[in-house]
Structure 1
Amino acid sequence: MRMFPEASELPTLPAAATANLPMAVPRSLTPDTQELNATQERIITARFQLLQMIENRAADKTVMQAARDIIDAIDNGADERLVSIAATANDRQGKERGLSLPTLMRWWTIYQKTDKKQNSLAPVKGDRVPRRVLVAWLRDYVPGSAGHAVLPACIPAWAPYFLDEYRRPQKPSLQQSLIRISRDMPADIERPSYDQVRRVMKKVPEIYREKGRRTGAEYKSLLGYMERDASMFAPMSICQIDGHSFKAYVAHPVTGAHFHPEVCAVICLTTKLLAGWSAGIAESHQTVGDAYRHACTVNSKKLWGGVPSILEADRGAGNMARVNTDEYIGLFARIGTTFIPPERGGNPQSHGAIERSNQSIWIRAAKNLLTYTGKDMDRGARRQVYDRLERDLKAVQKAEKLGVVAKTSELLMSWAEFLAFLEQTALEYNNSPHKSLPKIVVPPPHAPEGRATRRHMTPFECWADYVSRGFEPVHPDDALLTKLFAPHVPVTVRREKFTLNGNTYHSLDLAEYHNQQVVVAYDIHTPDTVSVFDHDENFICEAKWQGNRVHARPVSSVERAQLQRHDRRLKNKAKQIDLINAETDRKNVEIKALHKEIDQETADYEVQEERKRQYMLATPKYFEDEHEVYDTLYHSYKHNERLVPE
């Protein structure tokens, strides 16, 4: 008879669920040399010297006897050098805490167990999570894999869960993340305190701490980058173009009201020269094209510039417009410039030179104006300026002079004054030393007669240096300038006519091109006549405006863009008005009466209470004094009540 079942018959326990628990890697007894700091290295050297004394003991002495002799010599204090070595090796604060025999023997045991490796004598750091180990683990950790992460023994199990919660675009605080992981983390993991989390996160480098909290260009601003050197190229070989919303209010060219204009600039990477610029009401292909035209223009009044070989830009609407970037009829292709946009948007570091120049040129210039609205402007002063502009605008509207005056407030620059201001700003920038250019020993640019000093070259000086060495910019002739920079658009001819920008054009020479596509070149300011070419750019004819069913006169591209902008703004305002009206439209609010079912007992009770109230009202009332009589009569007279029932 068996009193106990066999082992094969015993019920088996289910395996522990470890899918959500990080795996720990045991910590090595011998730390890497790169993980040691200077203090640890001094302590290792001191402990190694004491153990060497034990190894060099006399042949008739044991390890314990040699260690006891060393402790006695230290306690005696006769050998000052030995006392100093022992104090360094012990690494204890206070003079009373001397080296003990068990401590020395413990070092000897560790030293022998690790095959006499000196690094095994390193003291344990005050921090339980070494920074170097933490960084090495963070470098390979995949976000979202907290349940399967492999952790070194020194890293707490809650660390991956906390990082996954903390490194989110919503940027939660340490306290918020700690509360969330305390609820969601597996129960087998010990919950950390706020101070524990703070100490560990303090050791995490910013590039790992902010990964996930920042994305795209914002995160890349923390990373290293490669500096592009264009000094080996000729001027205008590589240029960058970018638009910038001017950070100050100026007068609108049409209405005179305050608004933020769009400024577009072209920078030469070799000489850092501001080769061309333009300004417009908003970002558009016309502003970009005009800035490019200004950069290509070289004449007696503008001695710098030329056609860029390569033009880099972001993927903005104005830069990527087909009228500029088309490989056959686009503006850049016709002039001979290779346009290279970035492969994806949201990467301003790919054209950092022009992005940085926005701060050096336009933001610095805007700070000279009272109407500056940058993020570093004082909020109170900015609000006062805005209120003043609004009051002046209302006064002009009340006087019915909106669109008649050049500017609605004395704080504003008129459009003509603003363009002159930009011209002066561009000249000042091109005549200021640039730290990316070589150094020379000459007087300051603002004081040519002053003492010569060693400083960086200005863009104008760098450009002049290249010209003196034989450089000649490539630029179109003035006679071809207008034709080359006229926008080219493909259209289909039908019965000797075609439609462009809402205008109808006609020419007898187009009879042979019925139902065929041709290319039309037009001036955005003078729409009366356009030039027509075939796809081989052979001139066909000059087509004239014949008539338009929409407008009684030809509408230029500028006016058409203004009308489209006006329609878009009206639609946006109409949507806002509809939303405001929807909030107060009672027709959309369905009001339902609230019915509550009650039991019979409650209904009987309410009937009984109502009968009591009616009886009390019908009962004659007796008063204690004349004041109560007067108050009761006044109350009944005011509310038309009877004191005594009929």
Structure 2
Amino acid sequence: MTQVSITYTTQEAADLLKITSRAVQLRAKREGWDCQERAKRLGGKLWIVQSMPESTREQISATLYQQMQAEQPESLRAPRVPDLPAVLPVNLATWQREIMEARLILLEEVRRIALIEGIIKAEKLFAKMAKTGELSQYYQDLIAKANARKGKGRALSASTLRNWRRIKNKEGAEGLAPKVTQAPLNKQFPEWLMPFLREWRLPSKPSISQIYYDFKNTLNLPSLRTVERKVAALGELEKNRGRLLPREIKRFKAFVRRDFKKLLPTDVYTADGHTMDMYVLHPAHGKPFRPEVTSIVDVATRKCVGWSIGLAENSWGVADAIRMSVVDHGICAIFYVDNGSGFKNTMLDSPGVGMLARLGVSKEHSLPYASQARGLIERFQRELIRNARRMPGYCGMDMDKEAAQLVRKKALKEIKHTGTTRIFPTWEQFMKMMKMLVAEYNNRPHSSLPKVVDSSTGKKRNQSPNERWAVLKTKADIIIPDETEAADLFRPYEIRTVSRCEINLYRNRYFSKGLEDYHRQEVQVGYDIHDASKVWVRDLDGRFICEAGFEANSADYFPMPVVEQAREKRAQGRKKRLQVHMDEVDAELHGIGGALEAAPVAQKLKMTPAQEAIQVELTREFEQNNKSIGIDLKTEMPGGGKVINIKPVNDNPIPADPIERYRLAMQLEEKISQGINVNSRLAVWLGSYQSHAEYMTHKQMCDEFGVAAILG
């Protein structure tokens, strides 16, 4: 690496001056260089740079600068654009800003050279290199723009650089913009504009006309057309400042375009999960749902190297996609993903036992809400959407809502009557579709890949991911584990403590005599998510100890695989949510009763003896009729009234318990389906009960979990 020093040996000076060692000695004698004697074991002299003439020092500085530029990595050779001031676009024209930025970049480069020999000499050296054409074309173009002189010579002098430096130190970066004769500031930037923008810049995005009429008199605004014209003259960034928060407004700002041309296959894999915009029949209960597709793409070749489908984005689906990519295409060096729970978990990340740690893969996360940083995998997901559009079960945001509703209703009706439907694909059909989709994508020309001449048409076209992989794989160090190694690499591992030859893992206990020497020690326990009959035990350094088998003292009499436990947990959670809904329905049904208020006391009317006799006869007849249907009038009340005692009717009572009500409804439905006559009162009750939320909730639970889940 190039080192800047105050002294150089004869050979070092010869390399910097691009002359021979003998020429250095003659030149030192001629120009009177001072020197120091080197240690006796080294011999020779050390020439002092400060004693050399200015022209010689400039030549040495130029060579050092060129060497420093050459030693920088390719990605760092482009000059760093200095931070620019937040200047309103209405204050500077585009050409003024470009000249200001060009001058700032040139001053930044001169400052780097000044690290070698000071700012004054750095300015002279840079001006000389510009005149002799030793600078790169990039800087030559910047000099032409920074000079801002059309039709004249475009050389750069040291005095010009000094003047720019002085202006920047005194006035800031804005002072480097060329001055022009402008219209009065109150015309370009009227007094009402900023107050108007403060009211208009709201995240709710009010219209210009709305703010105009609300504040027309308060802000003394001109005509609406004038206001619209002034706002339209602002740049997109200024117009959206305040109306968009930082997360959204960044799409209007500068960005870095990543270059992948130097990458090789398996250098970087990027992955993401995507909920398909189409319905598929669930493999367990056959109801329509939207599966989650986890896909992995090789950055260098754009090839889809692994994929997996599941019920949701989770660590198991990600692990399966990683397994496919590693077994079929090789272990990657960097795994680039977002911060989703499927990619950020102990199964992948845990030190020593995490899958990526055992594979030796470095995982990198993108910044939150920065999907643009993973545009490659986002494009692949657009391929999934494009193919889903061809399916009748497509349900994307741009799908006609009425059409989607009709298709879904028709499918649900078929499922209700026949148990399945041909409208939505089955799980197996969707798996085949995914295989075909990935194969088509990998064989289709990709616009970001280099162009080649098609042998069949003789025309140029972009390479396909498979073609690019075939070209680059010979240059890459692709590591594919063998079958035995892969089987262990993709087993999830957990850290557990041995207790008397037993290991407790997910409510199951495993035993092996080979663990006697590891009592109360931590070990790594690997397991198969589909087979809980045994586990693989290793010490913390990864050395294999033994296989431990399932014992009868586990939580279940038979071993329960992790996947089955997860399904049971999910089902229990769903039952609890439905039970909460049932409790609400029960409260609505029985919680409306309250204390009955006493009716007002009836006032006794004055009647003739004949009228009283008729009333007594009618009252006697009324009481006899009420007794026949279970109503007893008794207890005299003040004013001649009576308390009515209603006796319950015992024939065919409706149960008060919700479960018993649903049991009665099922019995009545069974009798009606068999043609058996039922009590008319119960038939009327059943008709109203079937439209009640309680009935529908119980029926849904029976459909999902069986009659035993409700009635026992």
Q: Deviations over 1:268-288 (max 9, x none)?
A: 111111111111111110000
Q: Deviations over 1:581-605 (max 9, x none)?
A: 777885699999xxxxxxxxxxxxx
Quick one: percent identity of the two aligned structures?
A: 31
The secondary structure found in structure 2 opposite 1:482 is: helix
Q: Deviations over 1:40-61 (max 9, x none)?
A: xxxxxxxxxxxxxxxxxxxxxx
Distance 2:386 2:594 in 1: 53
Aligned equivalent of 1:284: 314
Distance 1:514 1:320 in 2: 32
Q: Deviations over 1:364-389 (max 9, x none)?
A: 12112111111122222211111112
Is it true that 1:309 corresponds to 2:333 in the alignment?
Answer: yes
Contact 1:242 / 1:266 at 8 angstroms: preserved in 2?
Answer: yes
Distance 1:221 1:576 in 2: 44
Normalized against structure 2, the TM-score is what? Answer: 0.55
Contact 2:264 / 2:475 at 8 angstroms: preserved in 1?
Answer: no
* Superposed displacement of residue 412, structure 1: 1.5
Aligned equivalent of 1:228: 258
Equivalent of residue 368 in structure 1, options 385, 390, 397: 390
Contact 1:251 / 1:414 at 8 angstroms: preserved in 2?
Answer: yes
Contact 2:334 / 2:364 at 8 angstroms: preserved in 1?
Answer: yes
Aligned equivalent of 2:241: 211
Aligned equivalent of 1:463: 469
Higher RCO (CA-CA < 8 Å; seq separation 6+): 1
Structure 1: segments with no counterpart, 5+ residues: 1-24, 37-116, 131-153, 299-304, 402-407, 444-449, 593-646
Distance 2:368 2:531 in 1: 35
Aligned residues: CA RMSD: 3.6
Residues 393/197 of structure 1: CA separation in 2 closer, same or farther (3 Å cut): farther
Equivalent of residue 408 in structure 2, options 386, 405, 421: 386
Equivalent of residue 349 in structure 1, options 372, 382, 387: 372
Residues 155/35 of structure 1: CA separation in 2 closer, same or farther (3 Å cut): farther
Residues 575/196 of structure 1: CA separation in 2 closer, same or farther (3 Å cut): farther
Supply the AA of the counterpart residue of 2:569.
Q
Contact 2:271 / 2:377 at 8 angstroms: preserved in 1?
Answer: yes
Aligned equivalent of 1:411: 423
Residues 386/272 of structure 1: CA separation in 2 closer, same or farther (3 Å cut): same
* Superposed displacement of residue 394, structure 1: 2.0
Residues 32/365 of structure 1: CA separation in 2 closer, same or farther (3 Å cut): closer
Task: Kindly indicate which of the two structures has a greater share of residues assigned to helix.
Answer: 2
Distance 2:359 2:222 in 1: 66
Distance 1:471 1:418 in 2: 34
Q: Deviations over 1:457-492 (max 9, x none)?
A: 00011111113x444521111121111110011122
Is it true that 1:274 corresponds to 2:304 in the alignment?
Answer: yes
Distance 2:314 2:506 in 1: 16
Distance 1:387 1:33 in 2: 57
Is it true that 1:430 corresponds to 2:442 in the alignment?
Answer: yes
Distance 1:521 1:224 in 2: 47
Equivalent of residue 442 in structure 1, options 439, 451, 454: 454
Aligned equivalent of 2:457: 451
Distance 2:215 2:497 in 1: 65
Residues 176/512 of structure 1: CA separation in 2 closer, same or farther (3 Å cut): farther
- Tell me how many residue pairs correspond in the alignment: 431
Structure-to-structure mapping, 1:85-484, within 5 angstroms = 130=188, 154-157=189-192, 159-178=193-212, 189-190=219-220, 194-215=224-245, 217-298=247-328, 305-342=329-366, 344-359=367-382, 361-396=383-418, 401=419, 408-443=420-455, 450-467=456-473, 469-484=474-489
Distance 1:328 1:164 in 2: 55
Distance 2:354 2:285 in 1: 32
The secondary structure found in structure 2 opposite 1:297 is: helix
Normalized against structure 1, the TM-score is what? Answer: 0.60
Aligned equivalent of 1:71: none
* Superposed displacement of residue 425, structure 1: 0.5
* Superposed displacement of residue 296, structure 1: 0.5
The secondary structure found in structure 1 opposite 2:202 is: coil
Q: Deviations over 1:364-422 (max 9, x none)?
A: 121121111111222222111111122122224xxxx5xxxxxx210121111111110
Contact 1:530 / 1:542 at 8 angstroms: preserved in 2?
Answer: yes
Equivalent of residue 520 in structure 1, options 525, 543, 549: 525
The secondary structure found in structure 2 opposite 1:236 is: coil
* Superposed displacement of residue 292, structure 1: 0.6
Supply the AA of the counterpart residue of 1:228.
R
Contact 1:250 / 1:418 at 8 angstroms: preserved in 2?
Answer: yes
Distance 2:428 2:212 in 1: 58
* Superposed displacement of residue 175, structure 1: 4.8
Aligned equivalent of 1:562: 567
